Structure 1
Amino acid sequence: MYSIQYHIVWCVKYCHKVLLGDVDTRLKEILNQLATDNDFTISEIESDCDHVHLMIDCSPQHSIPSIIKALKGVSARLLFKEFPQLKKKLWGGNLWNPSYFVATVSEHTEA
C-alpha cells in the first residue's frame, strides 16, 4: 500500500500570460486525460495566467521526470496545434519554461 503525492508547478516560457479562457480550459482537459492515460491521478489543478499548479497521486513506479515530460510535452504540442495564435507570443516553439518545482506532500504533520 502506498500514498505518494507531489505538488508540481511549472511556468509558461517568458512568463507570458496565455493560460486564459479556452486555452486554460483545454489545458486542464489535456492534463487530466494524460493522467488517466498514464495511470496517475491529478487531485487538484489550478492555473494563474502564466503557471500551473498540480497535486498528483501516483505509484512508486512513476518517476517525476517522466510524468513532467509527458504532461509538458504533450500539452504543449496539442495547445500549439489547437491554438496557433500561441506561437506568435511564444516564438521558438516552446510553450513551457524547461524548469519546474516539485515537492512531496505528506498526510502526516507534526504537532
Structure 2
Amino acid sequence: MTVTRKVRRYSGGVYDLGLHVVWCPKYRRRVLGGRVAVRLRELIEQKAAEKGWEVVALEVMPDHVHLFVKHGPKASASYVANQFKGFTSRVLREEFPHLKSRMPTLWSASFFVASVGAVSADTVEKYINTQGERPWTKEHKEQADRAPGV
C-alpha cells in the first residue's frame, strides 16, 4: 500500500506523523471476534475522529490489533496508544460483560509502537550525510573558508 504524503499545518509548523501500533488482550486471549471486533473498529474510528487523527489502516485479529494512524505533533507515541487502549477497554467491557468476567483487564499493559513515514530511515540518513555535497552548501563553505577568522 502506498500512503500519499499529506502534510498538515498548525501554528507551530508543518507535520506528517504516523504510527504503527499493536496491542493484545490480556493473556493474548482470542476474544476479539464477531460483534466485539466490529464494535472495536467503530470505537477506534470514533476516538481517532475525536482527536483529529486519521486511521490509515486497521486490522482486528482474534488476539491482537494492528493500527496505522496519523496523529498530531503534540501527541507522543505512548499517548496515542493509551488513548485507544483506555477508551476501547472501558466501552467494550461495559457493553460485553463476558470480557469483564474472563479477564481482570481487557488489554495487556504492553504495546508495540513504531513511527511510520513516507520516507525511509535510510533516505533520511543519506540526505543528512550528503548535506555538505550540495552545490549551494559548497559555495557557502568556500566563502566561509575565504573569510577572515572569527
Amino acid at match of 1:105: V
| Residue 104 (structure 1) aligned with residue 125 (structure 2) | no
The corresponding residue for 2:126 is none
Shift of the alpha carbon at 1:104?
A: 0.9
Map Cα deviations across residues 22-49 of structure 1 (whole Å, 9 max, x no partner): 0000001001100111111111110110
Work out the CA distance in 1 between the residues paired with 2:42 and 2:60.
13
| TM-score of the pair, normalised by structure 1 | 0.91
Shift of the alpha carbon at 1:2?
A: 1.5
Q: Greater helix percent: which structure?
A: 2
Map Cα deviations across residues 1-29 of structure 1 (whole Å, 9 max, x no partner): 22111100001100100000100000010
Q: 2:26 aligns with which of 5, 8, 13?
A: 13
Question: Within 5 Å, which residues of 2 pair with 1:27-106?
Answer: 27-90=40-103, 92=104, 94-106=105-117
The corresponding residue for 2:3 is none
Map Cα deviations across residues 48-69 of structure 1 (whole Å, 9 max, x no partner): 1010000010121112222222
Q: Which runs of 5+ in 2 are unaligned?
A: 1-13, 124-150
Aligned residues: 109
Q: Which runs of 5+ in 1 are unaligned?
A: none
Amino acid at match of 1:103: A
Which structure exhibits the higher relative contact order, with contacts defined as CA atoms closer than 8 Å and separated by 6 or more residues?
A: 1
Amino acid at match of 1:21: G
What is the aligned-residue RMSD (CA, Å)? 1.3
Contact 1:16/1:89, CA 8 A, preserved across alignment: no
Work out the CA distance in 1 between the residues paired with 2:46 and 2:115.
22
Percent identical: 37
Q: 1:24 aligns with which of 37, 56, 60?
A: 37
| TM-score of the pair, normalised by structure 2 | 0.69
Which range moved further: 40-49 or 14-23? 40-49
Shift of the alpha carbon at 1:88?
A: 2.3
SS of corresponding position for 2:90: helix
Work out the CA distance in 2 between the residues paired with 1:88 and 1:38.
31
Shift of the alpha carbon at 1:73?
A: 0.8
